Amino acid sequence: MRSKCLWPSRRPPRGKILVLLAIALPTLCGLIGLVVDGGLLLSASRQVQHVADSAATAAAIEKQQGQSNSAALAVAEQFVHDHNLLANAAVSLHCPPTSGPYTSSLQYVEIIVADQSPTYFIHLLGGPNVRQVSARAVAGYETSTAGAAIVVLDPNPPPFDVAPLPALPIGSSLPAITGGLEVLGLGTAQIDGAVLVNTEWGGLDENGNQVGETSGLLGQSHAVSATPLVALTNLRARDIRVVGGVDDPNNYGPLNAGDPQPLQAGRLPVPDPFVDLPVPTTAVDPANVSGTTFGGKTVLGLPLIGPPVTLQPGVYEWIEVVSGIANFQPGVYIIRGKNPLTQLSLSIVAGQVQAEGVLFYITDSAGYSPESGAPDASDGAATAPPPGTGNTPPCAVVNIGLLGSRYRGLNDPSSPFNGMLIYQRRLDRRPIVLVQENLIGAGQLQGTVYSKWGHVVLAGKGTYDARFVVGTLRIIALLDLQIRPSSLLPPANDVYLVE
C-alpha cells in the first residue's frame, strides 16, 4: 500500500510571474531597442562614411582639373544628394583640410557629411527620435608623371581630312586621324617629357587589356595610334598617359633603354594648362601688342641676296613668304583673315625667315579687336564646332628648315605670352602644319604651340625645343624626330583617398 504525502505541494502564486515579467519587460525592450537601433545607427554611419569617401574623391578630381572650391563642393553635393540619395544631408568642404597631415596643402580637400538616422525603439522609452550621423574624408591629387612636352586636349575629335599641300613634301591630302595623337613615318619620335592625351577612344592598356570603347571606322581609332611604315617607327617618351587606349602597346616605349614602360592607359584627363591665358590685346600686353593694321602681306624677293623685308608687330589679314628674306621684328602678329587665293592665314613655304621673339596669333574672326579681344575673349571653355565636310584647309603652313630659318617664341618674362610662338583662337579648328625639310641647313623651332581645338601636323626630322598643347596632333617622322623642350608643362596628377 502506497503511503500518501502528508505535505501539500509548494507552488508559487501565479501572479508573481506576471509581476516579474512586467518588471523585466521594459528592460528587455530597451535591450532589444539598443541592439536594433544601434545596429541601424552603425549601418548608417558606414553608409555616410562611404558617401563621404566618394564625395571627397569626386571633389578632388574637380580640383585636379583646376576647378574652384565652389565647383568642387557642387560636385560633392551631387554625389551625396543625387547619386547616394541622402537628400537632407549637409555637406561641407575645406581646402586645405582643417585637421590631419594635409592642412597646408591646397591639393587636398576635406569633405564632411552630416545626416540624421531615425530610431525605431529607443524613442519609445524616452530616447531621441533621430541620431546625428557624420563622417569625414580627405582626398587629393599628387604628381604621377614627368613634366609634359605634349598635351592633347580633345576627348572626342570629329572626323576631317587635311587639304593637299602641293608646295611641301606631304603634298597629298592627309586622311582623317585614327588617334588623338597619331605617329606616322619612317623613324622614331622621341619626346623628352610626358605625353598626355585626353582622347577617350578605346584600345589596349599597358597590359594588353581592352579599355574604353571602340571608335572610328571598323573600330580602328584609338586615343593614341601608330602606323609604322618600318619596324623602328614608334613613340618613345618619359611618360605616355592616355584617357582611352592605344592600338598596340609594343609601339610605345621609354625614352631611355632600361627605363620602365611609360604607357599608362585608362587614366584621368588633364586640364588645359593655358585655360586662363588671355587673348592678345593692347590692354593685356601693351609692350608687345600693337593695334596698327597692315592688311595682307606677301614677301617676294631674291633668295639669299635680298634685300630683306622687315615686318612689324600689328594686325594683318594674312602673311605669306614666297621667296626672299623676311625679318619679323619682336612682338605679337595678329592674323585675322586669310589669303583669298591660298585660303591660308600664315604661309611660309620658301625663302629665309628670321622670326625671333615673336608670337603669331591666328584667328578666324575677321573683326577681331586688338583693343578688347572681341569676339575671341568670350570663347572661354566652350567646345569648338566641328569642321565642315570635305578637306579642311590649314590656317598656317610653316616650312621651318629652309635656308636656316629661325622661329622663336615671344621673349618677355613680363608678358603672359612669354615663350608662346603660335596661339590659335580656341574655337578655331583649322589645322596648323609645321614641316622641317632641312634642304639647306637646319631650321630652328623654339616655343609653344597652343591650339586648343585645332589639329597640328609636325612633319620632318631633327630636334625641336618646343611644347605642344593642341586638340589633336599628328607626328610624321621622316627620319628620327626629337621634341626636347627646355622647359616643361605641368605634369599629370592622380587622385587618392588618403583619410
Residue pair 259/341 in contact (Cβ under 8 Å)? The answer is no
The predicted structure's pLDDT at residue 120: 62
The predicted structure's pLDDT at residue 16: 67
Asked if pLDDT for residue 112 goes beyond 90, the answer is: yes
Rounded distance between C-alpha atoms, residue 243 and residue 199, angstroms: 6
Rounded distance between C-alpha atoms, residue 359 and residue 410, angstroms: 5
Asked if pLDDT for residue 208 goes beyond 80, the answer is: yes
Residue pair 86/163 in contact (Cβ under 8 Å)? The answer is no
pLDDT of 9-24, one tens digit each? 555 566 666 666 666 6
Res. 171 pLDDT band, cuts 50 70 90: low
Mean confidence (pLDDT) of the chain: 87
Rounded distance between C-alpha atoms, residue 435 and residue 168, angstroms: 8
Rounded distance between C-alpha atoms, residue 305 and residue 289, angstroms: 31
pLDDT of 387-445, one tens digit each? 876 678 899 999 887 777 899 999 999 999 999 999 999 999 999 999 886 655 567 89
The predicted structure's pLDDT at residue 442: 65
The predicted structure's pLDDT at residue 218: 47
Q: Which residue has the higher pLDDT, 148 or 7?
A: 148
Q: What pTM was estimated for this model as a whole?
A: 0.86
Res. 301 pLDDT band, cuts 50 70 90: confident
Bridge-based pairing state of the strands 130-143 and 493-497? antiparallel
Give the burial class of 203: count Cβ atoms within 10 A of its Cβ; 0-12 exposed, 13-18 middle, 19 or more buried. buried
At CA 166, angle to CA 164 and CA 167, rounded to 5?
135
Percent above pLDDT 70 for the chain:
83
Q: Where are the domains of the chain?
A: 18-143, 148-492
CB neighbours of residue 32 within 10 Å: 11
Mean pLDDT of 275-288: 97
